Structure 1
Amino acid sequence: MGCCDTKGLMPLEDALTKLQSSVTNVCESITLPLSSALGFALSENIKSPSNVPSFNNSAMDGYAVNIADFKSAKNQPITLKMVGKSFAGKPYTGELPPGCCIRIMTGAVLPSCADTVIMQERAQANNDLITFSHVPKLGDNVRNAGEDIKQGETVLSIGHKLTPRDIPLIASLGMHEVCVFRKLKVAVISSGDELKNLGETLQEGDIYDSNRYSIIALLSRLNVEIIDFGIIKDDLAAISNAIKSADNQADVVITSGGVSVGEADFIKEVLAELGEIGFWKLAIKPGKPFAFGKLPNSQFFGLPGNPVSAMVTLYQLAVPTMATMAGFNAKPAIRFNALTTDKLRKAAGRTDFQRAVYSVNKNGQLVVSTTGSQGSGVFSSMSQSNCFIVLEQERGDVEIGETVTIEPYNALMD
């Protein structure tokens, strides 16, 4: 089968559906201090134990008044006597007689005898006599109890990944601990006699092991526990021992290389002995060879050996599946339409992920430009890009000015 033949190739959408339907959440629930929970997935709904805010308070520095005092004003200035002050943490507890007002600060408790706040810029003070030039509306500048969150309301749901926006929200509820799923444990293995560690001298035919660095870098953004097995040489016993050890320690085992059709290597032999692994041919470019299946204690992902192919399959297939295993709610990729500034070459038959840079031109249009050579071994095309141009499976060449779909990199890749 030639590189462009498409008979028997699995569409990307089918592959992702098959992956995610084959796995479930494998991570137990743990309790963490709120200060340590960033990036984890919630294992329980968070419900508010109280109203937020818990009391009626002022949204402005100004004066708390009773709207009844303004009913006869008929848009004429009115003067009220200030009889007290309410500060944040020091509420006013006295009475508010008719014809009187209370000085109040932002966030301070609104006295039960008042129902409206007039900002200080719309008042003129002469000692304790305060003149107001306009008639306010009932409830102006008042934040009511429960206006933000009501007691018992579900604030965040199971599977939500805690972000820097969520931590202060939970803190505002007075919760110092949260229940989350533990980190997914992921073992990463590189294999091949040609691979060398960084810093070693390359001999003829050698290459540096870059895939392991790209895989670990991306996984570190997923908030998983990474077990780095380094480089394993092409030796049956060594590979068997490494995969068995990885399977015993991790929820997921990831290798790169050795999954192409017809390729002779020991990884396939070991996997056939230990588990049920499918070697797929995907209708995507780059990244046609891909392996997935079950080891005795873990899920296995076999990524292609070419650097860009490994990154694309990891990002598009393995990461969403691992997110499901870690208890995270699935979120589809965000995609937009853009005008291409370049002619794009493509053969029909596979969904093509071309590396590109999107921007907004002087006319306010979203445009996208290719990063150049799209070879599966040209990793500079990834480093220079900020999105994929996603060309549909049956689409052919694209001319300058045509509309294409782009997928900006999410927080894992950007």
Structure 2
Amino acid sequence: MSVCDQGALHSIEQAISALKNTLNRQTATQTLALQAAHQHVLAQPVYAQVDVPQWDNSAMDGYALRANDLQQPNNSLPHAGRIAAGDMPEQKLPAGQCMHILTGAPVPLGADTVVAQEDCSISPEHIQFNHCKAGGNIRRRGEEIQQGQLLLEAGTRLRAQEIGLLASQGFAQVEVYTPLRIGLLSSGNELCELGKPLKPGQIYDINSYSLSTLLAGLGFTVTHYPKMPDNLQYNIDCLRTASGEQDVLISSGGVSVGEEDHLKNAVSTLGQLNLWRVAIQPGKPLAFGTIGTTPWIGLPGNPAAALITALIIARPALLHAQGATNCAHQTLHIPAAFDWKKPRPRQQYLHARLALQDNGQLHAEIHPKQSSAMLIAASWADGLVEIKAQETVEKGDLVGFVAYSELLN
């Protein structure tokens, strides 16, 4: 009996694990200019080239001095000069004097303290210090990063903050995994291209646009293929062609149990169907397998179901195949602002928004329209509420909440 013939639905965890095993782990790498490496995955660990800071420098605008030079009763010192960011760090502080110093400027030799400008009374020849903390307001050499330390591990996805960190070390280029090439296909006679008038019985091809935007935002290279009509031989021919050109194929629609859902049969003809039907709502008819040696993921056709299964199941497996090491999403636990009285046999994902209660605490509200065919709720929402199979919820109960910002990053 194949995995697809088994009566029980597969859990979400089983589906993700099996999909990871189906997808080929990326090994090809390329060297990119740093500014082009956003959302790519590091192929090699990166080690610090220099200390940060490279010398002691001032944390704010103020005056550099030796704390022991301050004497009661007036705690004042003569002014001996000015140091700005970019000046040489070898300047010396004359004994018994202070120097005006700007944020980021190197602390002069001999100084051990910087006093903030707002804690000083300034006259033409002397500076009076109204408050002084010995050793204060100095960023010490290497206090953030020390030369030779591990900066970023292989498998790190490069966000804006990692790009900035690499720039702080002077890296103009970085070695990353070559993005997976994903071929995107939509199935169904009812699909109409954007910009054309709808004929009776037609709908616009939503999934090609929502899924390609999602996948490109995650750092993959996406190719659109023409829509596949509900015809078994056409499906076979299209899948055969696309599988020879891409690393992964992702389709939407055609994986349910209808008479015109031919994709599963087309995949079985060309390769192997590894899994079908997952205990998730929306999105039960998700399937995947291989076409020759090329992995294929079949998402449901309903737009909300396609989006949710792509985010919850396909996303972590695809990022793992890309070489990323941290692929799981983070689930927060937020009080519910709703009741969910009827337990369901599948794990629910509900479009939800965070809102402040009168006591200042966040709670999760759900949209009244949760149909697998509707995207209006997804545009309204901040994320997804998770409700485990066979569970009910009352107002105030903690529920799992996954932010879209977490899933789309």
When normalised by structure 1's length, the TM-score is 0.89
> What is the identity, as a one-letter code, of the residue corresponding to 1:410?
S
Counterpart check, 1:106 vs 2:103: yes
Shift in alpha-carbon separation, 1:207–1:93, aligned structure 2, 3 A: closer
Counterpart check, 1:312 vs 2:308: yes
- Answer with 288-297 or 243-252: which moved more: 288-297
CA contact (8 A) 1:337 1:366 kept: no
For 1:354-393, what aligned pairs fall within 5 Å after superposition? 354-393=350-389
RMSD, aligned α-carbons: 2.5
Selected match of 2:230 from 229, 234, 242: 234
> What is the identity, as a one-letter code, of the residue corresponding to 1:10?
H
- Answer with 184-193 or 92-101: which moved more: 92-101
SS of alignment partner, residue 333 of structure 2: strand
Counterpart check, 1:145 vs 2:159: no
For 1:31-110, what aligned pairs fall within 5 Å after superposition? 31-70=31-70, 73=71, 76-91=73-88, 93=90, 95-110=92-107
SS of alignment partner, residue 230 of structure 1: coil
Selected match of 2:242 from 246, 250, 258: 246
> What is the identity, as a one-letter code, of the residue corresponding to 1:173?
Q
> What is the identity, as a one-letter code, of the residue corresponding to 1:198?
L
1:178 Cα shift? 1.2
Counterpart check, 1:406 vs 2:401: yes
SS of alignment partner, residue 8 of structure 1: coil
CA contact (8 A) 1:188 1:229 kept: yes
CA distance in 2, matches of 1:335, 1:203: 42
Measured against aligned partners, the alpha-carbon deviations of 1:288-331 in whole angstroms (never above 9, x if no partner) come to 11211222342110111222221221111111111111122234
Identity %: 33
> What is the identity, as a one-letter code, of the residue corresponding to 2:382?
N
- Answer with 170-179 or 196-205: which moved more: 196-205
SS of alignment partner, residue 244 of structure 2: helix
In structure 2, the residue matched to 1:342 is 338
CA contact (8 A) 1:52 1:146 kept: yes
Selected match of 1:260 from 247, 251, 256: 256
CA distance in 2, matches of 1:357, 1:100: 59
Shift in alpha-carbon separation, 1:118–1:381, aligned structure 2, 3 A: closer
Shift in alpha-carbon separation, 1:387–1:86, aligned structure 2, 3 A: closer
In structure 1, the residue matched to 2:3 is none
> What is the identity, as a one-letter code, of the residue corresponding to 2:65?
V
SS of alignment partner, residue 148 of structure 1: coil
1:222 Cα shift? 1.1
Measured against aligned partners, the alpha-carbon deviations of 1:64-91 in whole angstroms (never above 9, x if no partner) come to 2223324xx3x53233333333222223
For 1:280-299, what aligned pairs fall within 5 Å after superposition? 280-299=276-295
CA distance in 2, matches of 1:265, 1:63: 75
1:188 Cα shift? 0.7
In structure 1, the residue matched to 2:182 is 186
1:345 Cα shift? 5.0
- Answer with 221-230 or 161-170: which moved more: 161-170
Gaps of 5+ in 1: 1-5
Measured against aligned partners, the alpha-carbon deviations of 1:7-27 in whole angstroms (never above 9, x if no partner) come to 611111222222224435315
1:401 Cα shift? 4.3
1:215 Cα shift? 1.4
Shift in alpha-carbon separation, 1:27–1:224, aligned structure 2, 3 A: farther
Selected match of 1:164 from 160, 168, 172: 160
In structure 2, the residue matched to 1:199 is 195
Measured against aligned partners, the alpha-carbon deviations of 1:22-45 in whole angstroms (never above 9, x if no partner) come to 435315211111111112111122
In structure 2, the residue matched to 1:120 is 117
CA distance in 1, matches of 2:396, 2:140: 53
1:348 Cα shift? 3.3
In structure 1, the residue matched to 2:12 is 12
CA contact (8 A) 2:64 2:98 kept: yes
> What is the identity, as a one-letter code, of the residue corresponding to 1:251?
D
CA distance in 1, matches of 2:24, 2:101: 54
Measured against aligned partners, the alpha-carbon deviations of 1:166-191 in whole angstroms (never above 9, x if no partner) come to 22222121111111112211101112
Shift in alpha-carbon separation, 1:96–1:279, aligned structure 2, 3 A: closer
1:95 Cα shift? 4.4
1:135 Cα shift? 4.9
CA distance in 1, matches of 2:24, 2:396: 43
1:239 Cα shift? 2.0
CA distance in 1, matches of 2:297, 2:375: 21
CA distance in 1, matches of 2:264, 2:90: 77
In structure 2, the residue matched to 1:3 is none
CA distance in 1, matches of 2:339, 2:90: 73
CA distance in 1, matches of 2:89, 2:262: 78
Shift in alpha-carbon separation, 1:123–1:267, aligned structure 2, 3 A: closer
CA contact (8 A) 2:48 2:148 kept: yes
- Answer with 85-94 or 204-213: which moved more: 85-94
CA distance in 1, matches of 2:302, 2:26: 30
When normalised by structure 2's length, the TM-score is 0.90
